[in-house]
Amino acid sequence: MINWVSQNSKKGLVLLAGYSLGKSQELTKIANEAGIIPVVHDSIFEANKIYEKHGVALGKYLCLEHNLKDSSVLIMPPQLVDRHLFATLEHFDKRKVFSALATGWGRKGFFDMTFSLSNHSDFNDLLEYVKQSNPKLVLTDHGFCEEFGRKLNRVGFNAKPLKQHKQKMISEY
């Protein structure tokens, strides 16, 4: 991915799409590893700041503010990207757009390239993580949270699915 970003950023604008939380922080770091300070959408900018606040080094980046000329890499959430955006960027920025989607779903769509990038664990990985961390309480959320909670309880952990209790914040538990 670093090579693809590096090569195409010399020929035009590289647009990388990844979820604002998780994937875009990886993309920010990858752009920096390619020697480029990316421009990032404001939702990504805010998430990046939170990562940095908690000690995760991502490298440098700029918040998108009519400043595309300041970089050859733009990082956007995928739900804001479509063919019309590519055409608009090429028209106004006067550079060819090379696009890539970072996803664990293995789809390409209208992007030039898809990079398999997933920050999800499967069932066995999650179970192993719980075993190694040996927590006093596991609060499960998203996906099969009730089933996973039952499995953890069967193997000796105290687990409770969050959705069962309908709280909105962890402090309400």
For the whole model, what pTM was predicted? 0.75
Rounded average pLDDT per 10-residue block, the chain, 173 residues: 97 96 95 97 96 96 96 97 95 96 81 86 88 92 85 95 61 51
Q: What is the pLDDT of residue 164?
A: 57
Cβ atoms < 10 Å from Cβ of 89 = 19
pLDDT at residue 165, as a whole number: 54
CA distances from 9 to 34, 94, 126, 148, 170 (A): 9, 14, 37, 43, 42
Q: Which domains are delineated in the chain?
A: 2-116 (3.40.50.12650), 123-172 (no CATH)
pLDDT on residue 171: 52
Q: What is the pLDDT of residue 121?
A: 77
Please give the pLDDT value at position 173: 47
Residue 108 belongs to what H/E stretch?
none
